[in-house]
Amino acid sequence: MLIYQRLYDSFGPRGWWPGDTPFEVIVGAILTQNTSWENVEKAITRLKRDSLLHPERLYCIEEPVLAETIRPSGYYNIKARRLKKFMDFLFGEYEGNLSLMFSEDMETLRDKMLGINGIGPETADSILLYAGCKPVFVVDAYTRRVFSRHNLFISANIGYHEIQDLFMKNLPKDVELYNEYHALIVHLGKNFCKKRPNCTICPISSPEFFLESPL
């Protein structure tokens, strides 16, 4: 929590995940795999232009047409296939009803989503947290990079769920906290803790800070 507070005091609220509806957040979570958010925004804009950000319309559209629409997101053929697989799941399991989907027990829903081709732990947890408001902590490459560099019980080869457990066992079970903490870590990783880090201006780089921390 000391790390969270230092990041929050330094960066302020991040307002993440951007999206007008839970469905838009889900689509964005799938499109953002292996690309920048700027490219995702371009693809989202094209989906809105063609009135496709609606479950029934995305479910019915032909895959090649969808692929061309989301071309700016990169790997567009693969992502179109993944979006269509998710839509098959949504309509097959929940009649296309997101409220019904998110009324499912969180662990049950998570296991089901992990069975969808192209949906891994980070994407599934992003959907659960940001679209479904479920209390699950999202782990990404920035989380691993930041905390392994500070030797906070995270090594370069530790598994996703081990990192997730570290956070969820040491933080209050709170959706807003998980949401904001992940967004702050992303901001830190993108702007300070890069592949070549800029430690001189990092808000959590000072040795004195970690001497104060219970971690």
Per-residue pLDDT, 214: 46
- Please state whether 173 falls in left (phi above 0), alpha (psi between -120 and 50) or beta: beta
Tally of CA atoms within 13 A in the half-sphere of 133 that contains its CB: 6
Looking at residue 155, its pLDDT comes to 73
Low pLDDT (below 50) residues in the chain: 211-215
Q: Which residues contact 135 (CB under 8 A, 6 or more apart)?
A: 106, 129, 173, 174, 175, 178
Within 10 Å of residue 201's Cβ, how many Cβ atoms?
9
Question: Where in the sequence of the chain do the CATH 1.10.1670.10 domains occur?
Answer: 2-14+138-212
- CB 78, CB 111: distance < 8 Å: no
pLDDT of residue 119: 97
CATH fold for the domain made of 2-14+138-212:
Endonuclease Iii, domain 2 (1.10.1670)
Euclidean distance between CA atoms 109 and 124, whole angstroms: 9
pLDDT at position 215 is 43
Residues 6+ apart with CB under 8 A from 48: none
For CATH 1.10.340.30, list the domain ranges present in the chain. 22-131
The domain 22-131: what is its CATH number? 1.10.340.30
Amino acid at 104: E
- pLDDT for residue 206: 67
